Structures are given as C-alpha cells and as structure tokens.
Amino acid sequence: MYLPRLLTVTSLAAIFTAGATYVAPQTAEACGGTFCDAGPMQTPVDQTGENILFVMDGADVEAHIQIQYNPDTDAQKFAWVIPLLAVPEFSVGSDPLFSNVLAGTVPSYSLAQQAEFCGGGDSSESSGDGYAESSAGGTDTGYDPTGNSGPDILLEQTVGAFDIVVLQDNDVASLMQWLGDNGYQQDPAAEPIFQQYLDESYLFAAFKLTHGAGVDQIHPVVLKFNTGEACIPLRLTKIAATEDMEVRTFFLGNARTVPRNYRHVLINPLKIDWLDLTNVAENYKDVITQAVDAFEANGHAFVTEYAGSSTVVNEFGLHSDSWDASVLLSVPVGEVVDTLQSQGLLGCFGGETCEFYHPLAEGLLAEFLPVPDGLTPGEFYACLDCYVDLIDQNAWDVALFASAYQSRIIEPGAHALELLQTWPYLTRMYTTISPGEMTEDPFFHQNPSLGDVSNQRQATQTTLCNGNSIVTLPDGREVYVPLGEGWPAFDNEMPWEAEVQTVAMTGAPMTLVDNNEIIDRKLEEWNNSVNKDGAFEETAGDADGEGCNCAAGDRPLAPVGLALGLLCLGLVRRRRA
C-alpha cells in the first residue's frame, strides 16, 4: 500500500517578506533572507542561507531549521513560508547545535608537503604549524475544501520569537489574498507553484517575528511530524532562488542517509585545486556544481560531505546544569546580569564590556532590558545595578523573562544534547541547484548497508630533487606537477564526476555512470606529457625502494574547512562542462 507523504517539511528561503520591503542580501551574491554556515574558516561564498537538520526516528521525524538574514535590514520585515502536509508540533531549536554540527562535519581539504632526500643533510625536518579546524503543538486535520471564503486557520501559535499561522486552502487566489492582507509581499511567480502544492493537499505555515522582536532574537525552529519521511520541497523555493543555490542538509539517525529520488555523486578529486596558494580546494563549489549537472545526474543530485559517528559534534555549549531560570524570579532586577554571569551565559569585564557565550543571550536581554539611550550594551549590562533607575519598566517582566530563558535557551539546549547522545550516526549532504532545475522535491531515506565518508581529505606533495613535485591524492592517484606550475587544468575530456549512483534503502549503490577508467587514462596522459626526465617513474613507481630515496618529513598546511551553507541562494552563474 502506498503511504501518503505526510511527513514532508521544507525550509524555504524567506520567500515572502512582511510589508513592501524585500529582505536585502549582504552582497550581490546573497540569498533571500537566510544564511550559509561559516565554519572554522571563511570561504568566498555568500554567508546568507539556511540549514536543516533532520532527526530520523522511524515514523517520527524532526526538522530543525536555522535562519539568519542581513542584520542591516529591518527585522520587522522578516517573514517566510513553509509548505507541509501535516500540522507539526513547533518548538524552539538550538543555535549552538547547528554551530557545533557545522564545525564538526565541515569538509576539510589540506595539503601536506615533504621533500625527497637529495643528499647533503636531512631534509625531513618538519616545518609549519598545522591549522586545526577548527510550546504547544497543533492537531493533524484532514483536508476538507470548504469553498473560496479564505484559508482555514488550523493553528496560531507563538514559538519563541516567531508568530506562526498554519493555513489550509483549496484556492490559490484566496491564499494569496490572505498573505497580502497579512503583510506578506506578493510575487506573481509564486501563484502557479502554490497551486501545485495545493493540488497535492499541502498546507502552509507562515512565520513572522513577533512584535518588537529584533534580528538578534531569531532562533532555529523545530517541526516534529510522525508520518515518516524527510523532504526538502524546492519547487516553491525557486521564486526566491537564483543560479546554483546551495543546499546543505544534515541527518541524525541510526544509519547513513541518502537521497531517494535524486542521484548520489562521487566527484573527481583531480578537479579539485589542491595547489591553490590561498585556499586549498577554493574551487570546491564549482566542482560540485559541474558534477551534479553531469550526465545522469542532470541537476538532481547530492554529494555526501560526511557520514559517520555523531561524536564528531562537540557537546560544549549546548547545555549546562548551571542554567536555571527559576532563580531569576527571586532576584532583584539589578542583579539579573550577575545571575546570568554566574550561570555562564555571559561575562562582563571592567565595568564597560560584556561577552556573550550563547547566541541568544544578548537578544534576550535586549528584549526585556533594552539599553537606555546614551549607553552601550557593555556599559549597561556590565553594571546593571548602576543604572537601575534607567531600566524600562514597560519592557521588564521577570516572569516573562524567566519563561523566555527557559523556552529559548534551556529547553532547546537540553533537547540538542539529548539528540546527540541518542542518535549515533550523522550524515551531511550538499548540492547546488538552479531555479530551472527545481522541478522535483528531494526525498531521503536511511541505508544501513553503506560505509562511512570522512570529511578529512588530505593530499601530499613530494618535492623531487629536480624541483618538480608529485601530488598524491587521498585515493592514491599521483599527479606530476612541473616546477613553478599550479594544479593542472587537464583537458575538456576529464570528467567532473567519478561516479553517478542511485541508492536504495538497502544494499550497495547502483552505478549509472563510472568514469574512473577515463579519469585514470587522462591522468596517465598528463603525467606522460609533463614528465620529461623520467623522475616520476623512479620515485612514485618504485615498489622495491630503488631509485631516489624519498626521506620525507610531513609539513602540513592549513586545511581549508569549506562551509557552504544549506539552502543558501547564491547568485553564481552556472558554468557547464
């Protein structure tokens, strides 16, 4: 029996904005109101995007959605819309969970350097410092068209800093009218896409920041379903997306997760620029873009950036036993910041500066204890008791403050820690996709037969006595590089993708395209064309240890942590192979 896809959830890039002003990106390459993960090192990609973490628990699936947008725009105009097929339970998510997941799984490309021993001393001395990369729920209601009098309101709820309304309708005109009447900017391109979702019995959740909430109070939102599938509906996203939108998604469960109806791609590591002097693998996004556009992938494919133990995610900062909202109820207002300091949420120094150790701590204080005119946040919070007469008594409510602390910081942190300690396996996948390719929503399933995928990819460059070098890739392939030259461009026949696969719920992947023989042949042609003196065969191909003895000392370079954000609507022109 076919089971309806009632578990579907999406995280759309701020498709609508309240009022008439569209949420502006930070750069010309920005996406409509969301953000990319920053990772341990900055990379030349737009840092506005969205990240989704799915928790796969049989029939129960949680979708954790993290949002950020340009803080220079008006937070009151931030709004977004999610299509879904059931009314979920909504709750506040954990920002530190995303930070730790992103940092723990970011793909790292690095180059270790060593030199051949050419006599006259020991050349194996290591040099260089290695860089270490661093609420209430709604009720599921059957769809029962009732005419065109406007959408049915299935749920109205405030979750943390967001007001959420779940809508049900059978007429796109009335849905669009409701969105317009309630301050959501209209886009004519959305109408036929909304109609497609309505024809498939989708509901819509509309989000806006609560009155008075600022950008520093935006937090992740959790949607929990009990109907069994994980999906990213991309069709509606296309109205805000541009070329090569980046999509990154994470899955916690008992086994590796793979795309069900999209292809799975293994990239050709020879296309990565291992010798970039600024950032190793700086062309990573372009390689992924070309690989997922290849034959049989056709723009509907993902690569796996990490698959393995969830213990790679640091638990530090997620939750602390010292966090206690109840004690605030008996603390004088002038001692509130001191109490939060004692619980480890922030530290104030010298009576004029404060450092916040939780991303929501400053916003929470700003909401209930706004900084008076003429003072800086550091001055005010570092000596709150000094300025007790300036405290805005209309904003201060100790009961609401304690409740917000409990629901936005303490409870999400405890749940995040529970998730990591419950689910042993974590998968991270990535793709780029353009609006014209957003014709099908990707679904995902677990496959316990598949092996792990490391996020640490290190090549080794061996400098030969003649000044040329050999780069050995993580898969063992060896590339001859003449002195003074960068990474070879190869010719147009060198494919971007090594393999294109489909993956079922069990068993090994089925390979649709296998380019490894072509890759090996093109690599051999390159090596033969540049290796004029035969040193490559003497050094790299000497299985008996004869020829030039290579007494090498590793000299690790800085691994480049690529943090290319989920659902980041990057405006980068797609370059076809």
Look up residue 43 and give its amino acid.
T
Q: 70 near 28, Cβ under 8 Å?
A: no
- In this structure, is residue 50 part of a structural domain? no
**CA 117 from centroid of its chain's CA atoms:** 44
What is the SS3 assignment for 100?
helix
Say what the pLDDT of residue 553 is: 36
Element (H, E) at 96: helix 95-105
Say what the pLDDT of residue 573 is: 33
Q: 540 near 478, Cβ under 8 Å?
A: yes
Look up residue 251 and give its amino acid.
F
| Ranges of the chain with pLDDT below 50 | 1-49, 75, 122-147, 538-577
What is the SS3 assignment for 516?
helix
Structure-block tokens of residue 505 = 């719920």
- In this structure, is residue 469 part of a structural domain? yes
- In this structure, is residue 381 part of a structural domain? yes
DSSP 8-state symbol, 526: H
- In this structure, is residue 375 part of a structural domain? yes
Burial of residue 355, with CB atoms counted within 10 A of its CB: 0-12 exposed, 13-18 middle, 19 or more buried? exposed
Say what the pLDDT of residue 213 is: 72
Count up the domains in the chain and report the number. Answer: 2
- In this structure, is residue 60 part of a structural domain? no
Say what the pLDDT of residue 501 is: 98
Q: How many residues does the chain have?
A: 577
Say what the pLDDT of residue 533 is: 64
Do 545 and 468 reside in the same domain of the chain?
yes
Place of tokens 């999906």: 231
Structure-block tokens of residue 317 = 């900062």
* pLDDT tens figures, 61-120: 999 998 655 555 554 566 788 888 889 999 999 999 999 999 999 999 999 999 988 876
Structure-block tokens of residue 227 = 């109907």
Do 548 and 466 reside in the same domain of the chain?
yes
Enclosing domain of residue 461? 108-131+456-494+514-560
In sequence order, the 6+-apart residues with CB closer than 8 A to the CB of 60 are: 224, 225, 226, 228
Burial of residue 101, with CB atoms counted within 10 A of its CB: 0-12 exposed, 13-18 middle, 19 or more buried? buried
Do 404 and 466 reside in the same domain of the chain?
no
* pLDDT tens figures, 168-215: 999 999 999 998 888 877 677 788 888 999 999 999 999 888 876 777
DSSP 8-state symbol, 297: T
Q: 444 near 7, Cβ under 8 Å?
A: no
- In this structure, is residue 218 part of a structural domain? no
What is the SS3 assignment for 115?
strand
- In this structure, is residue 3 part of a structural domain? no
* pLDDT tens figures, 315-368: 999 999 999 999 999 999 999 999 999 999 999 988 789 999 999 999 999 999
DSSP 8-state symbol, 18: B
For the chain, helix (H) and strand (E) counts, in that order, are 11, 25
Do 400 and 487 reside in the same domain of the chain?
no
Do 394 and 477 reside in the same domain of the chain?
no
What is the SS3 assignment for 405?
helix
Strands (E), 116-268: 152-159, 162-168, 203-209, 221-225, 230-231, 245-253, 257-259, 263-267
Say what the pLDDT of residue 66 is: 84
Pairing of strands 443-446, 560-561: unpaired
Structure-block tokens of residue 349 = 């120094």
Domain final position from 409, 430, 465: 409
This prediction's pTM:
0.79
The alpha carbon dihedral of 172, 173, 175, 179 has a sign of positive
- In this structure, is residue 208 part of a structural domain? no
